[in-house]
Amino acid sequence: MRAAAVQLNSTDDIERNRTTADRLVRAAAANGAELVVLPEKWNVLGTEEQMAAAAEPLDGPSISWARQVAAELGLDLVAGSIVERADGHEKTLNTSVHIGPDGEVRAVYRKIHMFDVEVDGTVYRESDGEEPGDEIVVSELAGGVGVGMSVCYDVRFPELYRILALRGAEVVVIPSAFTLATTRDHWETLLRARAIENQCFVIAPNQIGAHPPGDRSGGRSLIVDPWGLVLAMAPDREAAVVAELDLGRVHEVRRTLPSLANRRPAAYRWPEDR
């Protein structure tokens, strides 16, 4: 199976973001991609106020476009994440949607971990405007392969990925908008670690460049194999990178180095549980 990670420089210009995403998804498909993954907040990335104003329901224009292009091109499309406005929620949600080659929504994942941190003196408080999801999601590609869904900051929580692998994920997607500093120092290490620990492919499209209110994302979108080898890395611009995923490699690695099978959950209890 050929898979693609689409790297974007999304801003508050929604039409421009969608036009660029459309161009690069089509380029990936022309290069043989059967699975294409967009980055976090591909449709709008700006100030908290700009993103709140541009929030959409799942039947809004962004996911409607994604459904149309997936059906037209006959591919699995993980529409990175969008800023979702949902009934019954006071705040927005950071929502990733998997769409099948028939244009139908196969799975919806809402980012569990909120990016409330300080990086290089800049304070990020994602929870001020967004609320977290609470459901772990494994979807299924057209060929029956399990795909584990996650978004950006989730990558720092390895227990999530272990659960995804144990629930059948052989491919994990991590659409992101990693900061420039954390892309430089942590991005590749974290992605390769998640691939090695869970013996699965990792597809991680990242945002690149500046977006309002002056933040920067670091690019380097990656596709990593179950041994932790980098199969593809995006250049320092908007691009779609494609790699061949030999799914037999997942089974080979899990057979010859069976760390998932060798787990001992009964020994992992916290002291207070003994």
Catalytic positions are 40, 111, 152
Q: Which residues contact 111 (CB under 8 A, 6 or more apart)?
A: 81, 93, 94, 95, 96, 130, 132, 133, 150, 151, 152, 153, 154
Which letter, b or e, does each residue of 201-235 get, where b requires 16 or more Cβ atoms within 10 Å of its Cβ?
A: bbbbbbbbbebbeebebbbbbbbbbbebebbbbbe
Strands 201-204 and 169-173: parallel
Residue 173 dihedral angles phi and psi, to the nearest 5°? -110, 140
The closest alpha carbon to 150, from 192, 90, 231, 205, belongs to 205
Q: Which two tokens stand for residue 98?
A: 């998997």
Query: What's the CA gap between 100 and 70, in Å, rounded?
Result: 7
